Structure 1
């Protein structure tokens, strides 16, 4: 008699099938673990990179300040740093173009900005430029194996310029404000001086007018005062009198045309005295 296999119950069959949710969760955990490991590796590489280049960044910072900023006039130092950054950025942006990988130290602008100032040519060498002679002409040519140094040096220049240009802008604003305040103070003093002169002129004019009016009043008062009276009588009183010589004067009461009476003189006879 053939033996028959015992059929599985539904519960045991369900237990034998894989749990898809559990499998998906396990896969997700594995992927997450791989992502975390990759991030940790990247962070470790970044940390190692930072550690390896920390000294290089510090070296470039020291070459900028105090190496370039302190011994040179500030405007010249800032312009020289901008020129160095332009040289580095041209190579970073155009790594395959040879024309950006060299400069001639006898060029007037290069000589003024990179050769004559203190510390600038040394910075170019630290970026990766080395002196060469071609056809008896001096050049500084970039070594393409120094690209990492070039990028670090350019980053340090950007860092310094961001800091120094802000300070420069603040200093220029402060100087402009001080100049404006000084000019305003000078203008105020001048205006006060002009106002004082104008006020003094008005006062002098009022005093002059006052003196002129007083003089006119005095002159008018003098001309209006009564003249000395003439006490001589306009008419002679009628009557008679004697002169020292003894003559008798008779004054008539009748007026003539000019308002005076007529006068008659009678000789004095000796007999009259007796």
Structure 2
């Protein structure tokens, strides 16, 4: 039997309906957890703002990243943020000095970083009114003038900008160290290859020199035992004979006079009586 069309009992329908009190309690617990986390984050960052400013801080964070940092070169984005931070800190540190409460968009730094590159840094321009600056015309000159009623917003924005700048500077320093380490490793590898090349050339030169000396010694030794070398030695021997007389094994008598270079041989046999 099909029971899908059977009406539900009141108790079953009540059980199927959500418990609005339980849902409300769950939402309240989640919101409370978010507020406590925001308060802890603010305390860790040294902020004096209460939890009610949590959404405003989040708004500034979104405008900074991904609004400014992500789509732009890091160096340009950092310089723009540092300029915004300087504008805010000047007012915070000197709240009663009028000269810090306004700036001209035609200022070269402001113009280069915040006004001209609208396609890339429109978020930086949008941050300016969030910080409490609003455009005005004075003596036909454009200005951004700070309204003191926005001092709290200025402090929140300055804190969020400083948070981002400090974080990005740490990343930049780490990146610079990484590049320096890679460069040093590359230079060390190149130096090692060069040294190995020089050592190989030096070793090859020593081997070649030893082989040359060996070949020269072998050539000299071979030349000393050749017939031509022997003839040269024989020709070099003196041909003059020492003066005197003597007998050969055959009994011949040899007399050499002082004036006879070749000497004279007196042939004869010993006396029969001897």
Task: Check 1:261–1:98 CA distance in 2 against 1; reply closer, same or farther (3 A cut).
Answer: same
Unmatched segments (≥5 aa) in structure 2 = 1-38, 44-48, 235-252, 268-274
Give 1:161 deviation, angstroms. 1.8
Q: Which residue is equivalent to 2:211?
A: 207
Q: Which residue is equivalent to 1:11?
A: none
Unmatched segments (≥5 aa) in structure 1 = 1-42, 230-252, 263-274
Q: Which residue is equivalent to 1:217?
A: 221
What is the TM-score with the length of structure 2 in the denominator?
A: 0.63
Q: Distance in 2 between matches of 1:200 and 1:260?
A: 64
Q: Which residue is equivalent to 2:153?
A: 149
Q: Which residue is equivalent to 2:54?
A: 54
Q: Distance in 1 between matches of 2:80 and 2:255?
A: 126
Q: Distance in 1 between matches of 2:254 and 2:139?
A: 150
Q: Deviations over 1:45-90 (max 9, x none)?
A: x9xx634211110000001100110111101111211111111011
What is the TM-score with the length of structure 1 in the denominator?
A: 0.63
Q: Which residue is equivalent to 1:112?
A: 112
Q: Which residue is equivalent to 2:16?
A: none
Count of residues in Structure 1 that have an aligned counterpart in Structure 2: 193
Tell me if 1:158 matches 2:124.
no
Give 1:122 deviation, angstroms. 1.4
Give 1:157 deviation, angstroms. 0.9
SS at match of 1:96: coil
Tell me if 1:82 matches 2:82.
yes
Give 1:191 deviation, angstroms. 0.7
Q: Deviations over 1:108-146 (max 9, x none)?
A: 111122222512121122111111222222211112111
Give 1:211 deviation, angstroms. 1.4
Q: Deviations over 1:213-246 (max 9, x none)?
A: 222222233355368x9xxxxxxxxxxxxxxxxx
Q: Which residue is equivalent to 2:67?
A: 67
Q: Distance in 1 between matches of 2:67 and 2:181?
A: 31
Which of 171, 174, 180 is residue 178 of structure 2 equivalent to? 174
Tell me if 1:125 matches 2:122.
no
SS at match of 2:264: coil
Q: Distance in 1 between matches of 2:225 and 2:141?
A: 106
Task: Check 1:255–1:63 CA distance in 2 against 1; reply closer, same or farther (3 A cut).
Answer: closer
SS at match of 1:130: strand
Q: Which residue is equivalent to 1:96?
A: 96
SS at match of 1:169: helix
Q: CA RMSD in A?
A: 2.9
Give 1:106 deviation, angstroms. 1.4
SS at match of 1:225: helix
